[in-house]
A and B are shown apart, each in its own frame.
Chain A
Amino acid sequence: MAATQETVEQVQNLEMDKYKYGFVTEIETEKAPKGLSEDTVRFISAKKNEPEWMLEWRLKAYRLWLTMPEPKWGKLDLPEIDYQDSYYYSSPKSMEDRPQSLDEVDPELLRTYEKLGIPIKEQEVLAGVAVDYVFDSVSVATTFRKQLLDVGVIFCPISEAIQDYPELVKKYMGSVVPQGDNKHACLNSAVFTDGSFVYIPKGVRCPMELSTYFRINELNTGQFERTLIVADEGSYVSYLEGCTAPQRDENQLHAAVVELIVMDDAEIKYSTVQNWYPGDEDGKGGIFNFVTKRGICKGKNSKISWTQVETGSAITWKYPSCILQGDNSVGEFYSVAITNGRQQADTGTKMIHLGKNTTSRIISKGISAGKSQNTYRGLVRVAAKADGARNFTQCDSLLVGQTCGAHTVPYIESKNRSARLEHEATTSKISDDQLFYCRQRGISEEDAVGLVVNGFCREVLQELPMEFAVEAQQLVKISLEGSVG
């Protein structure tokens, strides 16, 4: 069809615009020597002026990492990673002395974030969202900190938390994701550079959304951030993270760890819009996104809700999970994963029911297009003592194009008869009838795909905070450009 050809050409022309975050910021940086050794770990620790206990913790992780095998169970075609060919620390020079206020932040950095559509200047920031900006290895700015502190909420770069709140960090870091959990988490434990720390005190409902914006800028630089959120009794926080990286031919490594701890009657809502550079059409370049996210519902009636929209990265490997320890605790996982081109995603969740009357809900929407592979991998486990546990899982996959793959690999284990587990999965092609219906009403084929896919994902997208939902819908559409015809 002529129009199809046209579409293809248009998309090819658009290709450069398609990943609109693909630009590089020219900024002077300071880096650790290339490669990974104990010296690298010491260098990072020294750069951050860390106390001895932190360095020891890192070194322990590094030594353990050397002995660990690569995790092989994902359905991923993964090249051998040369850990020595990467930088593990990169910081804008201007950050040597951390700016005390936004006015001191390097204007080039401010411009970078403006270009990304997320202005740092507080007056321009979306009302009611406090943001921590992480650029390569360091946090460059955190907004609204003072206002938050007034109500007792700690929101700061984790490097500062190590200095200012060592007891909290010592107590909780590694308590949900132990160093030896998996090789990627272990690497993070050794070389993590920055990330966010959040503490919500008892009974406080965090007055605004908290957000971290991650940006990988430097060539050959890995990003290893670590996020730790503690919600004390009866508190609530909604936390968002967004991620982008420049368009580069080399693969870059991103190995993050996120730990959530939720006490009695508290709730954390954690939302992610992941849009790291996915590589080009032929699979050149792109981020390897290896993330270990896990939360524990320690207290009774506690709740963790993960929402993720995964559109970027060459390879995504992440399973945001919940350990439902407290009685009546609730775990939720809402996920949209879109793969196009030669992207590969292996993502899902684990819900571990330990406490009584614990409830979990999993809604996963996978969309595969182009030559991509998209896998949902999940575990629902009910321990013998988890009386009255309840899980509902719905996993739907949508195929757009004939050369992609969609896979569903759930593990369902129940040791308790009073537990009720329901799992449903479907896989189908995007419907020709739906597309024709839309087109008959005047909507172009590409827009029709965007519309139908957004509808398919609606249950998940509506879980996102308002500010993110609109962006996510756009992202869903953009991610599928060039996938029809």
Chain B
Amino acid sequence: MLEIKNLHAEVDGKSILKGINLNINKGEVHAIMGPNGSGKSTLANVLAGRDDYDITEGSVLFDGKDISELEPEERAGEGIFLAFQYPVEIPGVTNTTFLKEALNAQRKYRGEEELGGMEFVKLIRSKTKELGIKDDMLKRAVNVGFSGGEKKRNDILQMAVLNPKLAVLDETDSGLDIDALKIVAEGVNKLRAENNAILVITHYQRLLNYIVPDKVHVLANGKIQRTGGKELALELEEKGYADYSGEAA
């Protein structure tokens, strides 16, 4: 589903990703782990198409389509969802309005019919119920006044409603206590399905206790240094990144 070939990227003229190769198939969960400054978040932002994150070499194919020239909203329409390390606050815009705008924009992009008010409400109700999120959260402005945990859960709700093909979780565990972490992981696990894939980006292994990956990659110095199964995460937890940081530091 996602094929990254020899990806080089720079931010503000500074080279960060230096030849990444990665394949993710439908139904798989991959984890990318690495020390601070290894380029993990850059990869997430490059996939989502953020301004100032420029691909200098290589390609990113999504369902066989080169997405590197697509605008962020077009990539979203293709089915890429980024759960933010720091979800953004948008004062005055309620979650309901935001979700409806986003969902219908994506449906329109895909040539599907936009959802009417009632259908939308039905959909969103079913998702909040499924995730155990209180309805009053929907009436609040996007992430405004939310605790760290609430913000992450809100991102998970968006993911559930938008139902992406590929979800990229960028350091979703940062700033969460263990209870919040479990709840978020539970939400993610509910969304695991045969037809979609998940890419978990994290510094720590603990999140992977709850979202169990099929494959773990170690990213350091802008390159994937090693790939293994879920046991690799445990090894990293024990030994740290010292083996990989020599070149990066």
- List A residues at the B interface (Cβ < 8 Å): 1-3, 431-434, 436-445, 447-448, 451-452, 454-459
Contact = CB atoms under 8 A, between A and B. Distances in A.
Given A442-B109, A443-B101, A451-B93, A437 B88 contact: yes
16 contacts: A1-B71, A436-B48, A440-B81, A441-B105, A442-B73, A442-B77, A442-B109, A443-B73, A443-B102, A444-B105, A445-B73, A451-B93, A455-B91, A456-B91, A458-B93, A459-B92
A454 B76 contact: no
B120 to A, nearest CB: 14
Which interface residue of B73, B101, B141, B158 has the most chain A CB atoms within 10 A? B73
List the 7 shortest-distance A-B pairs measured between CB atoms, nearest first. A455-B92, A458-B92, A455-B93, A442-B76, A442-B106, A441-B102, A439-B72
Nearest to A456: B92
A439 B102 CA distance: 8
A361 B184 CA distance: 41
Contacts of A458: 91-93, 141
Interface in B61-80: 69, 71-73, 75-77
Size range of the chain B interface in the assembly: 20 to 34
B51 A436 contact: yes
A433 B48 CA distance: 13
A3 B71 CA distance: 7
Given A2-B69, A451-B101, A440 B82 contact: yes
B178 interface: no
A442 B162 contact: yes
Contacts of B204: none
A93 B142 CA distance: 54
B93 A440 contact: no
Given A438-B102, A440-B72, 11 more contacts: A436-B72, A437-B90, A438-B98, A440-B76, A442-B77, A442-B105, A443-B73, A444-B73, A447-B101, A447-B105, A454-B93
Interface in B6-51: 48, 50-51
A452 B101 contact: no
A451 B97 contact: yes
Nearest to A437: B88
A155 to B, nearest CB: 34
Interface string B105-133: 11001000000000000000000000000
A432 B72 CA distance: 13
B84 interface: yes
A431 B92 contact: no
Interface in B152-170: 158, 162
Given A432-B51, A436-B51, A451-B98, A441 B162 contact: yes
Contacts of A431: 88
Nearest to B69: A2
B87 interface: yes
A454 B92 contact: yes
A433 B88 contact: yes
Contacts of B84: 437, 440
Contacts of B109: 442
Contacts of A441: 73, 76, 81, 98, 102, 105-106, 158, 162
Contacts of A439: 71-73, 76
A444 B73 CA distance: 6
Given A431-B88, A451-B93, A443 B69 contact: no
A202 B91 CA distance: 41
Nearest to A452: B90
Contacts of B82: 440
A443 B93 contact: no
A434 B88 contact: yes
B105 A443 contact: yes
Contacts of B51: 432, 436
Given A3-B71, A451-B98, A455-B141, A438 B90 contact: yes
A167 B77 CA distance: 66
Contact of B90 (A442, A455, A457, A459): A455
A442 B98 CA distance: 10
A444 B72 CA distance: 8
Contacts of A433: 88
Contact of B93 (A1, A442, A445, A452): A452
A2 B70 CA distance: 10
Contacts of A437: 84, 87-88, 90
A442 B80 CA distance: 9
Interface string B140-157: 011000000000000000
Contacts of A451: 90, 93, 97-98, 101
Which interface residue of A2, A434, A436 has the most chain B CB atoms within 10 A? A436
A6 to B, nearest CB: 10
Contacts of A455: 90-93, 141-142
B91 to A, nearest CB: 5
Contacts of A443: 73, 101-102, 105
Contacts of B77: 442
Which interface residue of B69, B90, B162 has the most chain A CB atoms within 10 A? B90
B115 to A, nearest CB: 13
A115 to B, nearest CB: 27
Contacts of B158: 441
A223 B69 CA distance: 51
Contacts of B92: 454-459
A437 B103 CA distance: 14
Interface string B221-240: 00000000000000000000
Contacts of B142: 455
A457 B141 CA distance: 13
Contacts of A456: 91-92
A456 B142 CA distance: 12
A447 B50 CA distance: 17
Contacts of B93: 451-452, 454-455, 458
A6 B97 CA distance: 27
A436 B141 CA distance: 17
Which interface residue of B72, B91, B101 has the most chain A CB atoms within 10 A? B72
Given A434-B88, A454-B93, A455-B93, A445 B71 contact: yes
B237 to A, nearest CB: 30
